[in-house]
């Protein structure tokens, strides 16, 4: 290329540049392009990781309990192991079995509750039962460890009463039969336990009034509760007014006015309840045995002034013990 052509080309380039027209030559640098205003780019989206395929736990509802009994040939499994009764320390104070029928027994069990196996029995007339101070309540019932004639077990405390004195077991058995018949108002059975000649005398208070207390023969007892005849049974304490009642009325007021078959204390030939009235039972019934069923009181506010006792008077006859007197007693003026 000639010198003139080079100069001419350079001049043309300057002219074009002044006019805003850019041309490129093989030797020229690339033109710098002003950046176009654009929106600030957003960061690339980040995907929330999808949890791995961990198995979702399946809830299986527990079926509701039913009352359908489970029948098994094996003994029921005991939910707890009870402390053996032999492990306890027993009190020297004696207790007697009460409120058990003649044809029944009081079961001793391996633990507190009927679900435990029977390990022994106490007869309905048992005396001298020893208790341990370890009562346990099961289903609302009190259970205690006991010892009787060398055997130990758990029994329902409701069938034991504190004992005062001792008698021959034949007397205890006969008294238990009588009080059970009285509780059930079983006059037919009671009649068989009454003295066949003397009958039974009813005394409203512990002073036996031979002249005024009513006496019923064994033959009269079975129909006595339905008899509408009013009798004079003695006099009321305090007022001195005559006790004019039918047999049923007297029975309710002066015989079974408390649950004497299940007393607080049972006295075997030993007086428990004591009031102001003279007790002349031994004078009227010499040689007899007295079994007393006693409640120490019912209303704590009265501090024992509402105590009650029912005494059964038994005499020997032909090798048996028969009932000759039913003596009621209570606090008197």
108-130 pLDDT, tens digit each? 999 999 999 999 999 999 999 99
- pLDDT at residue number 83: 79
Residue 107 makes CB contacts below 8 A (sequence gap 6+) with 118, 120, 121, 122, 155
Averaged pLDDT of the chain: 83
204-255 pLDDT, tens digit each? 999 999 999 999 999 999 999 999 999 999 999 999 999 999 999 999 999 9
Q: What angle do CA 202, 208, 209 make, to 5 degrees?
A: 90
Report CA-CA distances (Å) from 69 to 9, 76, 78, 93, 230.
117, 12, 16, 43, 55
Q: Are 129 and 61 a contacting pair, CB within 8 Å?
A: no
Per-residue tokens: 204: 């409203």
Mean of pLDDT values over 15-28: 43
Work out the pLDDT band at 10, boundaries 50, 70, 90: very low
- Residue 271's CB is within 10 A of a number of other CB atoms, namely 18
Per-residue pLDDT for 329 more than 90?
Answer: yes
- pLDDT at residue number 54: 44
Is 169-330 in the same CATH topology as 85-163? Answer: no
Per-residue tokens: 317: 């006859």
pTM of the model: 0.75
Residue 323 β-bridge partners: 194, 314
Per-residue pLDDT for 17 more than 50?
Answer: no
- pLDDT at residue number 56: 42
Mean of pLDDT values over 260-287: 96
- pLDDT at residue number 80: 52
Domain ranges of the chain: 85-163, 169-330
Task: Please state the separation of Cα 144 from the chain's center in Å.
Answer: 12
Per-residue pLDDT for 299 more than 90?
Answer: yes
Residue with tokens 């780019």: 41
Q: What percent of the chain has pLDDT over 90?
A: 71
71-87 pLDDT, tens digit each? 333 444 444 567 788 88
Q: What percent of the chain has pLDDT over 70?
A: 76
Per-residue pLDDT for 182 more than 50?
Answer: yes
Work out the pLDDT band at 333, boundaries 50, 70, 90: confident
Q: Which CATH number fits domain 169-330: 3.10.450, 3.30.450, 3.30.70, 3.30.1560?
A: 3.10.450
- Superfamily per CATH, domain 85-163: SH3 Domains (2.30.30.40)
Per-residue tokens: 298: 């019912």
């Amino acid at each position: 290329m000639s010198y003139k052509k080079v100069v001419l080309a350079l001049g043309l380039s300057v002219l074009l540049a002044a006019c805003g027209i850019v041309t490129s030559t093989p030797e020229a640098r690339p033109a710098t392009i002003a950046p176009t205003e654009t929106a600030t780019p957003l960061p690339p989206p980040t995907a929330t990781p999808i949890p791995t395929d961990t198995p979702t736990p399946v809830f299986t509802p527990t079926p509701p309990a039913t009352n359908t009994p489970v029948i098994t040939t094996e003994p029921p499994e005991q939910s707890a192991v009870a402390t053996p009764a032999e492990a306890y320390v027993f009190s020297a104070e004696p207790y007697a079995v009460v409120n058990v029928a003649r044809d029944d027994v009081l079961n001793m069990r391996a633990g507190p509750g009927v679900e435990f196996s029977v390990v022994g029995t106490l007869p309905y007339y048992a005396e001298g039962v020893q208790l341990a101070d370890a009562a346990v309540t099961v289903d609302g019932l009190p259970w205690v460890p006991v010892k009787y004639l060398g055997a130990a077990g758990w029994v329902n405390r409701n069938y034991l009463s504190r004992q005062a004195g001792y008698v021959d077991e034949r007397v205890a058995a006969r008294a238990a039969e009588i009080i059970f018949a009285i509780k059930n108002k079983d006059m037919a059975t009671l009649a068989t336990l009454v003295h066949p000649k003397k009958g039974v005398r009813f005394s409203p208070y512990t002073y036996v009034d031979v002249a005024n207390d009513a006496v019923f023969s064994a033959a009269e007892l079975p129909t006595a509760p339905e008899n509408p005849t009013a009798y004079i049974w003695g006099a009321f304490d305090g007022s001195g007014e005559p006790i004019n009642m039918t047999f049923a009325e007297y029975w309710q007021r002066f015989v079974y006015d408390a649950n004497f078959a299940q007393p607080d204390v049972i006295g075997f030939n030993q007086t428990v309840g004591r009031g102001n009235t003279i007790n002349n039972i031994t004078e009227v019934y010499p040689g007899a045995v007295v079994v007393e069923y006693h409640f120490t009181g019912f209303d704590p506010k009265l501090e024992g002034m509402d105590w009650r006792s029912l005494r059964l008077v038994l005499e020997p006859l032909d090798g048996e013990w028969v009932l000759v007197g039913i003596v009621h007693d209570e606090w008197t003026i």
